[in-house]
Structure 1
Amino acid sequence: MENTKYAVGLDIGTTKIVAMIGRENEYGKIEILGIGKSKSLGVHRGVVNNITQTIQSIQQAVQEAEGVSGLKIKDCVVGIAGQHIRSLQHSDYITRPDSEEVINEDDLDKLCNQVYKLVMLPGEEIIHVLPQEYKIDGQAEIKEPMGMYGGRLEANFHVVVGQISSIRNIGRCVKSSGLDLAGITLEPLSAANAVLSQEEKEAGVALIDIGGGTTDLAIFKDGIIRHTAVIPFGGGVVTEDIKEGCSIIEKQAELLKIKFGSAWPGENKENEIVSIPGLRGREPKEISLKNLSKIIHARVVEIIEQVYVEIKNYGHEDQKKKLIAGIVLTGGGSQLKHLKQLVEYITGMDTRIGYPNEHLAGDSDTEIASPVYATAVGLVMNALQQQKRNATFKAEPTAQPQLEDQHPNVDKTLGNQESIETKPTPKPTAPPRERKSFLEKWSEKLKDFLDNAE
């Protein structure tokens, strides 16, 4: 696979595994070249609980994507989520030895590395350290401290923590499927990249990604991620409730939810009934749509209220932390009828459904522009950005041109060159080096671990 041309995102979800191949066109939009999906066996609430089945599901999705696109997949960017992910706020500072020198990258790295020394619960590891605002000598609200003077450098951090064994298991599944790990990214961040605009992130917005096994929350304000949370319930529990409440099999419960389900019981009249074929010659079952929506409503309210507790924990009622852009719903679960109205009713916040079509090329398949594929599209975008960064590193000129090349008219046979001015020409300016994100550094550590574990 030619790295400069296309990139692959692998979304390992609870209900489905999606492999998506995309490339950037000349307008900066993403063309989806191939997509493959398979039923996710061996993943429960975002956590791998059967390695062999997960490997088979990944291989099936990858083969389908390769078949559609005619391309060979070698590496991919993988999303991580799951109920083991949690986040916390942390403040830290360093005292610089020489306040007469400007703050540089080493100072920022030193400050961030200090956060990694926080003591976590057994089996947990810090995955993501996201600096928010900096303070220099007590001066607050500094976005970019590089190049400034100061003795005491402080920062507020958003720290994302996860179960290290769960993440290594995902890495092991990807490697065993014959793929290289190009990078790891948090799924709520990927979905946010795909469906949120920069204006929304500035104004303040809560992204709720309702998947099969988990509901992910990411809150942005002033363009910075402020809060993340994973609620261990999703569309799967709703299906489970329908199955139990109506005494039918899971497949029928899922179909009922998609075709006739509604999150608002008042919509259905008492006499609206759907008939479900009985098993093996048994009588068909009649189910009232009003009862169906009552079952769905009860569980969905519980999920939304848990998410709303997290939004309150962030402190959205504080004037400075107000989420002006409200809530954006995405993921497969967001397609439930009347969910938007229910969320607005419970939270009192403006709500819209998030589609990843803003970043997709105009001729993209309508199916791909569905909220179901928001995370996969975000992972492809992330993979393409990573490739660009790597290309920039490689493109940096290393050596200064020789003196001879600077003065092509110098007669090289002249022994005495004192009369000739040989001022060194300014070094060509290299494109500014973008700092590697901490998650990229961390995923490199994980790759080394997996390589050594073989």
Structure 2
Amino acid sequence: MQERVIVGIDVGTTKICVLVGELDRDGKLNIVGVGTCPSQGLRRGVVVNIEETVTSIAAALDRAERLSGKKITSAYVGIAGSHISSENSKGFVAISPKNRDIEQNDISRAFEVARAIAIPANRELIHVIPRGYVVDGQEGIKNPIGMSGFRLEVEAHIITGSVSSMHNLIKCVHKAHVEIEDLVLEPLASGDAVLEEGETDLGVALVDIGGGTTDVAVYTDGAIWHTIVLPVGGNLITSDIAIGLRLPVGVAEELKITYGHCDPSAIDEDDMIDLSQFMPDCDDLVPRKLLAEIIQARVDEIFCMVHEEIKKSGYDGLLPAGVVITGGTAELPGILELAGQVLDLPARIGSPLGLHGLADSINRPAYSTAVGLLLWGLSNTSLLMEEEPIDVNVEDDENNLVSRFGRWLRAFIP
């Protein structure tokens, strides 16, 4: 196997993260480059200033290239934002009477029927993900190829996004001189990085709390069932601190990172924070318990919103594997216990594991999405070696949609 470079770009609200992975001759993915940069030009996962976003992406790319010694020309790019929506759909087809054995063409036809839902002109298809197959009423089939039957059914999870939001992100990546291998919904990427196979089989909720959004994905029977991107995240916690303590936003962010906690009861009454370490001209003291109370209130609200989404999925109380918390905000002390209380589920923190190369620098929840994008690329390596990267033409909606769907379909057909 030839060595191949795979790149993931997590375009987040608070930071841009670029990871460079090299697939060696033994098929092992080594992290050889990391580039991060504070994100400018995005709000709640959506581009609001193209030039600022391009500058941020370019800076992160430059750092990753310098560390890895690789020229980055294409990448898997994460997409999020409250414009994302999803639904489950089914497709039915009859099997040819000449040959009752199911072939790949039959699966392709079933997918075409499943994706033939009414998509408004202002929305575009991102993913069509198979949940499972049914042959002549027999459910739970993972790979129907070669089976005999009269009727094939596929159940698919369909994810769409706003055309304008998607195209603005695409423009930014192209302006940074990078072609897009694929746009990947961020909670799906994070799930690849932190979820275990047994968890998705039993039933688990992934909650990725980033700076501008909270991504929720519910998995059952080894497949995705429900996805949503909530327009709340760590930035709101920072804003609450800034308002509640009358501090600059930058200082509020430093306070959150350095002294933040989600459980006020774990903080002593006389534990004070000296603000002079952040603002030399200020000698005020802030009770750390007060800081924790502000943080707890907002994180509690976020988990309440997550709980409502789990209820909407129809799996409230039916997720034996519980909830996995990841993303930068998951690094707040006390968040695990708060999640368990609000969601009434067993909870754990999800960090990307099993990495090679520069693993120590990215083995944190904040890097789950970026690592997942690399794993997404790794899972499609055999396909990608036969194809050129997707040149997403923002002026050609139809070709863009078809090319992405074709890649997805080929990648998922057993």
Residues 161-183 of structure 1, C-alpha deviation per residue, up to 9 Å, x if partnerless? 21122111111111111111122
* Aligned residues of 2:126 and 2:183 also touching (Cα < 8 A): no
Deviation at 1:58, TM superposition (A): 0.8
What code does the residue aligned with 1:148 have? M
Q: Distance in 2 between matches of 1:105 and 1:389?
A: 16
Q: Distance in 1 between matches of 2:279 and 2:203?
A: 54
What code does the residue aligned with 1:335 have? E
* Aligned residues of 1:34 and 1:68 also touching (Cα < 8 A): yes
Summarize the Cα distance change of 1:9–1:202 in structure 2 as closer, same or farther, 3 Å threshold.
Answer: same
Task: Report whether the alignment pairs 1:156 with 2:155.
Answer: yes
Summarize the Cα distance change of 1:350–1:439 in structure 2 as closer, same or farther, 3 Å threshold.
Answer: farther
Q: What residue is the counterpart of 1:224 in the other structure?
A: 223
- TM-score, scaled to structure 1: 0.81
Q: What residue is the counterpart of 2:404 in the other structure?
A: 442
Residues 284-325 of structure 1, C-alpha deviation per residue, up to 9 Å, x if partnerless? 33222121111111110110111111122222246xxx3222
Q: Distance in 1 between matches of 2:327 and 2:252?
A: 19
Q: What residue is the counterpart of 1:323 in the other structure?
A: 319
More deviation, 271-280/158-167:
271-280
* Aligned residues of 1:262 and 1:296 also touching (Cα < 8 A): yes
Summarize the Cα distance change of 1:197–1:280 in structure 2 as closer, same or farther, 3 Å threshold.
Answer: closer
Deviation at 1:126, TM superposition (A): 2.5
* Aligned residues of 2:50 and 2:168 also touching (Cα < 8 A): yes
Q: Distance in 1 between matches of 2:84 and 2:197?
A: 25
Q: What residue is the counterpart of 2:363 in the other structure?
A: 369
Q: Distance in 2 between matches of 1:74 and 1:161?
A: 26
Residues 314-342 of structure 1, C-alpha deviation per residue, up to 9 Å, x if partnerless? 22246xxx322211111101001100011
Q: Distance in 2 between matches of 1:154 and 1:111?
A: 7
Deviation at 1:368, TM superposition (A): 1.1
Q: What residue is the counterpart of 1:344 in the other structure?
A: 340
Q: Distance in 2 between matches of 1:291 and 1:219?
A: 34
More deviation, 249-258/200-209:
200-209
Deviation at 1:152, TM superposition (A): 3.0
Summarize the Cα distance change of 1:284–1:307 in structure 2 as closer, same or farther, 3 Å threshold.
Answer: same
Q: Distance in 1 between matches of 2:281 and 2:72?
A: 47
* Aligned residues of 2:218 and 2:227 also touching (Cα < 8 A): yes
Q: Distance in 2 between matches of 1:51 and 1:139?
A: 50
Q: What residue is the counterpart of 2:396 in the other structure?
A: none
Q: Distance in 2 between matches of 1:72 and 1:181?
A: 15
Task: Report whether the alignment pairs 1:313 with 2:312.
Answer: yes
Residues 401-438 of structure 1, C-alpha deviation per residue, up to 9 Å, x if partnerless? xxxxxxxxxxxxxxxxxxxxxxxxxxxxxxxxxxxxx9
Higher gyration radius (CA) = 1
Gaps of 5+ in 1: 395-437, 447-454
More deviation, 228-237/215-224:
215-224
* Aligned residues of 1:202 and 1:223 also touching (Cα < 8 A): yes
Q: Distance in 1 between matches of 2:361 and 2:401?
A: 31
Task: Report whether the alignment pairs 1:176 with 2:138.
Answer: no
Q: What residue is the counterpart of 2:394 in the other structure?
A: none
Task: Report whether the alignment pairs 1:353 with 2:352.
Answer: no
Gaps of 5+ in 2: 389-399, 409-414
Map residues 46-445 of structure 1 onto 2, 5 A cutoff: 46-96=45-95, 98=97, 100-277=99-276, 283-317=282-316, 322-358=318-354, 360-361=355-356, 364-391=358-385, 441-442=403-404
Residues 238-289 of structure 1, C-alpha deviation per residue, up to 9 Å, x if partnerless? 0011111111001110011111111111112322221224999864332221
Q: What residue is the counterpart of 2:35 in the other structure?
A: 36
* Aligned residues of 2:2 and 2:24 also touching (Cα < 8 A): no
Q: Distance in 2 between matches of 1:182 and 1:125?
A: 17
Report the 3-state secondary structure (helix = DSSP H, G, I; strand = E; otherwise coil) of the residue aligned with 2:361.
coil
What code does the residue aligned with 2:234 have? G
What code does the residue aligned with 2:191 have? A
Report the 3-state secondary structure (helix = DSSP H, G, I; strand = E; otherwise coil) of the residue aligned with 2:333.
coil
Summarize the Cα distance change of 1:243–1:444 in structure 2 as closer, same or farther, 3 Å threshold.
Answer: farther
* Aligned residues of 2:92 and 2:153 also touching (Cα < 8 A): yes
Residues 198-238 of structure 1, C-alpha deviation per residue, up to 9 Å, x if partnerless? 22222222111111000111222222112211111111110
* Aligned residues of 1:343 and 1:351 also touching (Cα < 8 A): yes
Summarize the Cα distance change of 1:153–1:443 in structure 2 as closer, same or farther, 3 Å threshold.
Answer: closer
Report the 3-state secondary structure (helix = DSSP H, G, I; strand = E; otherwise coil) of the residue aligned with 2:253.
helix
Q: Distance in 2 between matches of 1:101 and 1:368?
A: 50
What code does the residue aligned with 1:85 have? I
User: Identity of counterpart residues, as a percentage?
Assistant: 37
* Aligned residues of 1:99 and 1:149 also touching (Cα < 8 A): no
Deviation at 1:122, TM superposition (A): 4.5
Summarize the Cα distance change of 1:343–1:372 in structure 2 as closer, same or farther, 3 Å threshold.
Answer: same
- TM-score, scaled to structure 2: 0.88
More deviation, 73-82/273-282:
273-282
How many residues align? The count is: 397
Summarize the Cα distance change of 1:280–1:311 in structure 2 as closer, same or farther, 3 Å threshold.
Answer: closer
* Aligned residues of 2:207 and 2:216 also touching (Cα < 8 A): yes
